[in-house]
Chain A
Amino acid sequence: MKLLRDAWLIAAKDLRAWRRDRTGLLFGLLLPIALVTAMGFLAKVLYGGGGPMGRTDLWVADEDRSEASADLLAALRAAATVRVRPGPEAEPLSVEEVRRKVEDASAHHALIVPAGFGEELAAGGLPELRMIRDPGRRLEDTLVSLALVQAYMAISEGRSWPAMMGRQMEALGLEPEQAQAVVAASESVRALIERFLPGGDEEPEAGGAEGGAAAGTGFDMSAFLTGMVPVAAEDIQPPGRPKELGYMQAQSVSGMVVMMLMFGLVACGSTLIVEREKGTLTRLLAAPVSRDSILLGKLFFSAAVGLIQLSLLFAYGELLFDLATFRDPVTLLVLMLSLTAAVTGFGLLVAVLARTQKQAEGVSTILILVMSCLGGAWFPIQLFAVPTAVEVIMRLTLTHWAMTGFQNMFFHQKSWHDPATLPAVVVLWGFALAAFLAARAIYHRRLASAS
């Protein structure tokens, strides 16, 4: 009984302290709430309503300009997995223009409808389409393939289904005669279906979402679908990029690096609070050194740790994944410095604002997780169609700019002064500068008010 009573005494004391500890509450309650809210909201925005997955951009150049090609584009616009660019009202682009877009990485898939497409389709053939694509965008490739199959079926009103099946059979190794037999069989099945379904309102391949699941069983849905629609693919990728490097991989490696750096450097900045709590700050303040030197010391400490951490993580990532990390050392260094500066600024800001070490930990954890999520460190949020408000918030996070910089370096093989990367570098330094100045002002005000 005494044991239980004593235990309760201790527990009650701890509960009382916990209730008084706003940071503890923040950490224990608000963090999960914030995360659930952010994730739930995002999931709603990303996956709600608009189909099983987000839409990906598909650029088109229509060389045929026939009724059939217009139908194909209209069908693609109706597809759930792609967003056809340019829009229906905008000026159409030429083949050269869309190719340039893929080359400079402002597009990853460009569909070309060759001249003669309509005629051949009317003749019952399977006219070939052309695709200029970035082979590293595998996820998007699946989305585009799904949309193409859907659109192709829609415009041929199912007539090309047998021919498409035949193509696949041949590709899978059937003799042409056998394939012919399958085609004939498919024809009769189609005729049968049409008789019983006069509306002919078929839902082709609605199981797009199962594509991923099927892939898990060893059957590559994406390859199967791509095979059904005759597309001549032309791959364009920067010469320096490792063949195996996919967009998602580059994204997740950079993302984890960016997130872990934030955790690491907030801990560095927090040593300022630890010194205050342990009393050693008294010694530093009484020493004949300027107040700024103390803050600057923390800045250097944090920056040094940041650069060491980044170097180690990238070296590790390189060993593990073959990212060609050190292909462009200058760009790597510029990005590392910019990111370290921005995150150091963030850490110092947390350190001068927080009253206690625990508070710093709690607040920064929430901020880091939310920023990581919104900035694309967890998954490529930038590929999804999000409302303007979310887009604006995304761009306010330093993670977004860090991710932009690293994706441009790793995946698009761009240098730090490329027009696509330079803004990220500038914004990161802007973050850094603003954070340093704010941290310094708050630090001095706190010292003056002496608490």
Chain B
Amino acid sequence: MAADFQLEVEDLRFRYGSREAVAGVSFAVRPGEIFGFLGPNGAGKTTAISCVCGLLGGWQGAMRFGGETFRPDLRAADRRRIGLVPQDLAVYEELSGRENLLFFGRLVGLAGAELTAAVERALELTGLGERADDRVGSYSGGMKRRLNLAAGDLHRPSLLILDEPTVGVDPQSRNHIFAALERLRDQGRTLLYTTHYMEEAERLCDRIAVLDRGRLIGLGAAAELAEQAGVPGADLEQVFLRLTGHRLRDSA
């Protein structure tokens, strides 16, 4: 089964103190697919991702990567297989875009010509152009978002995890990010993608996991989800509300 899945997560649980943020989630990501993580605020998406990225330790359950035991919280080498684009902007405002990319590139172990090439590729991806050497503090929100994205993909990790990369950007930046992600997909890269935007998920994702209150309440391609939800042919927005919008369903 090693070749079938890249990342496998089994019965993942994590609690902040007494609050169980992730309560037994299982899913597996196939090589070369864009896997969507959908769910309302507080569903546990970021928490689950943080476990996969090694930001959080002390979770329960099992993870495998390429068929092997995966402990990103304990092993730095395991963390290198994953690239993270955090939900909150995580770039240094005092440095230039290029300096940020150089720093994060070095942090994942790139050097020399490889580093230079990675930074050039990332700058192209961000479309920062001649602003690359300006301080990030002077960038627009969209520019920062694009930089935030590029900084996570410098070493072309086996799995790139994006936590709501299009939050708070204008349609132009959003389209730019979209185009970039589609290009990555066409290159055969594997992505795990979190979002609130249904049309994004529908357009990009091969399969989608719907999370609510720390539990998985649906998993499959958009059409499969519609069938699971008992609304075949409906669009993802309807499916999502059907699955998660308890109050709406109750009042209907």
> Do residues B108 and A287 form an inter-chain contact, with CB atoms below 8 A?
yes
Min CB distance B117 to A, Å, is 19
> Do residues B80 and A288 form an inter-chain contact, with CB atoms below 8 A?
yes
Which residues in chain A, 249-303, are within 8 Å of chain B measured between CB atoms? 278-280, 282-290
Q: How far, in whole Å, are A290 and B80 apart by their CA atoms in the complex?
A: 11
Which residues in chain B, 63-92, are within 8 Å of chain A measured between CB atoms? 76-77, 79-80, 82, 84, 86, 88-92
Query: DSSP class of B's interface residues: helix, strand, loop or mixed?
Result: loop
Known: A287-B79, A288-B77, A288-B79. A280 touches B108 (CB 8 A): no
Q: How far, in whole Å, are A284 and B104 apart by their CA atoms in the complex?
A: 8
Min CB distance A148 to B, Å, is 62
The listed residue (B91, B92, B108) touching A288 by CB distance below 8 A is B108
B129: A residues at CB distance < 8 A: none
Q: Does B179 contact A (CB under 8 A)?
A: no
> Do residues B54 and A285 form an inter-chain contact, with CB atoms below 8 A?
yes
> Do residues B57 and A286 form an inter-chain contact, with CB atoms below 8 A?
no
Known: A280-B90, A280-B91, A282-B88. A450 touches B56 (CB 8 A): yes
> Do residues B76 and A448 form an inter-chain contact, with CB atoms below 8 A?
no
Which residues in chain A, 428-451, are within 8 Å of chain B measured between CB atoms? 447-448, 450-451
> Do residues B76 and A283 form an inter-chain contact, with CB atoms below 8 A?
no
Q: Does B53 contact A (CB under 8 A)?
A: yes
B171: A residues at CB distance < 8 A: none
Q: How far, in whole Å, are A421 and B61 apart by their CA atoms in the complex?
A: 57
A284: B residues at CB distance < 8 A: 107
Min CB distance B54 to A, Å, is 6
> Do residues A286 and B109 form an inter-chain contact, with CB atoms below 8 A?
no
Q: Does B58 contact A (CB under 8 A)?
A: yes
> Do residues A286 and B88 form an inter-chain contact, with CB atoms below 8 A?
no
Q: How far, in whole Å, are A280 and B76 apart by their CA atoms in the complex?
A: 18
> Do residues A450 and B92 form an inter-chain contact, with CB atoms below 8 A?
no
Q: Does B241 contact A (CB under 8 A)?
A: no
Q: How far, in whole Å, are A283 and B50 apart by their CA atoms in the complex?
A: 11
A447: B residues at CB distance < 8 A: 57
Q: How far, in whole Å, are A136 and B88 apart by their CA atoms in the complex?
A: 60
> Do residues A448 and B90 form an inter-chain contact, with CB atoms below 8 A?
no
Known: A288-B76, A289-B76, A450-B16. A282 touches B90 (CB 8 A): yes
The listed residue (B77, B80, B104) touching A283 by CB distance below 8 A is B104
- Chain B interface residue count, Cβ-Cβ cutoff 8 angstroms: 26
A286: B residues at CB distance < 8 A: 53-55, 79, 82, 84, 86
Q: Does B151 contact A (CB under 8 A)?
A: yes
What is the chain A residue whose CB lies nearest that of B53? A286
What is the chain A residue whose CB lies nearest that of B58? A448
Q: How far, in whole Å, are A286 and B79 apart by their CA atoms in the complex?
A: 6
> Do residues B89 and A279 form an inter-chain contact, with CB atoms below 8 A?
yes
The listed residue (A285, A288, A290, A448) touching B109 by CB distance below 8 A is A288
B92: A residues at CB distance < 8 A: 280
Q: How far, in whole Å, are A287 and B80 apart by their CA atoms in the complex?
A: 7
> Do residues A278 and B90 form an inter-chain contact, with CB atoms below 8 A?
yes
> Do residues B84 and A282 form an inter-chain contact, with CB atoms below 8 A?
yes
> Do residues B57 and A285 form an inter-chain contact, with CB atoms below 8 A?
no
Q: How far, in whole Å, are A280 and B86 apart by their CA atoms in the complex?
A: 9
Which residues in chain A, 93-111, are within 8 Å of chain B measured between CB atoms? none
Min CB distance A255 to B, Å, is 32
B57: A residues at CB distance < 8 A: 447-448, 450
Which residues in chain B, 150-167, are within 8 Å of chain A measured between CB atoms? 151-152
> Do residues B76 and A279 form an inter-chain contact, with CB atoms below 8 A?
no
Min CB distance A300 to B, Å, is 15
A278: B residues at CB distance < 8 A: 90, 93
Q: How far, in whole Å, are A287 and B79 apart by their CA atoms in the complex?
A: 6
How does the 8 Å CB contact mask read for A157-170 relative to B, with 1 for contact and 0 for none?
00000000000000
Q: How far, in whole Å, are A230 and B54 apart by their CA atoms in the complex?
A: 80
The winner among A282, A284, A286, A447 for most chain B CB atoms within 10 A is A286
A448: B residues at CB distance < 8 A: 57-58
B53: A residues at CB distance < 8 A: 286
Min CB distance A448 to B, Å, is 6
> Do residues B88 and A279 form an inter-chain contact, with CB atoms below 8 A?
yes
> Do residues A283 and B84 form an inter-chain contact, with CB atoms below 8 A?
yes
Q: How far, in whole Å, are A278 and B136 apart by their CA atoms in the complex?
A: 13
B151: A residues at CB distance < 8 A: 283
What is the chain A residue whose CB lies nearest that of B82? A286
Known: A288-B109, A450-B16. A283 touches B86 (CB 8 A): yes
How does the 8 Å CB contact mask read for B135-148 relative to A, with 1 for contact and 0 for none?
00000000000000
Which residues in chain B, 87-139, are within 8 Å of chain A measured between CB atoms? 88-93, 104, 107-109
Q: How far, in whole Å, are A413 and B90 apart by their CA atoms in the complex?
A: 51
B79: A residues at CB distance < 8 A: 286-288
The listed residue (B58, B90, B107) touching A289 by CB distance below 8 A is B107
How does the 8 Å CB contact mask read for A49-67 relative to B, with 1 for contact and 0 for none?
0000000000000000000
Q: How far, in whole Å, are A279 and B151 apart by their CA atoms in the complex?
A: 14
What is the chain A residue whose CB lies nearest that of B86? A282
Q: How far, in whole Å, are A450 and B108 apart by their CA atoms in the complex?
A: 22
What is the chain B residue whose CB lies nearest that of A451? B16
Min CB distance B226 to A, Å, is 34
> Do residues B55 and A282 form an inter-chain contact, with CB atoms below 8 A?
yes
What is the chain B residue whose CB lies nearest that of A447? B57
The winner among A278, A282, A284, A448 for most chain B CB atoms within 10 A is A282
A279: B residues at CB distance < 8 A: 86, 88-90
Which residues of A are in contact with B by a Cβ distance under 8 Å? 278-280, 282-290, 447-448, 450-451
18 pairs across A/B with beta carbons < 8 Å? A278-B90, A280-B91, A280-B92, A282-B84, A283-B90, A285-B54, A287-B79, A288-B76, A288-B77, A288-B107, A288-B109, A447-B57, A448-B58, A450-B16, A450-B56, A450-B57, A450-B58, A451-B16
List 11 additional contacts besides A279-B89, A282-B90, A448-B57; criterion CB under 8 Å: A278-B93, A279-B90, A280-B90, A280-B91, A282-B84, A285-B54, A286-B84, A288-B76, A288-B79, A290-B76, A451-B16
| Pairs A-B, 8 closest by C-beta atoms | A288-B80, A279-B88, A279-B90, A286-B84, A288-B76, A287-B107, A288-B79, A286-B53
Which residues of B are in contact with A by a Cβ distance under 8 Å? 16, 53-58, 76-77, 79-80, 82, 84, 86, 88-93, 104, 107-109, 151-152
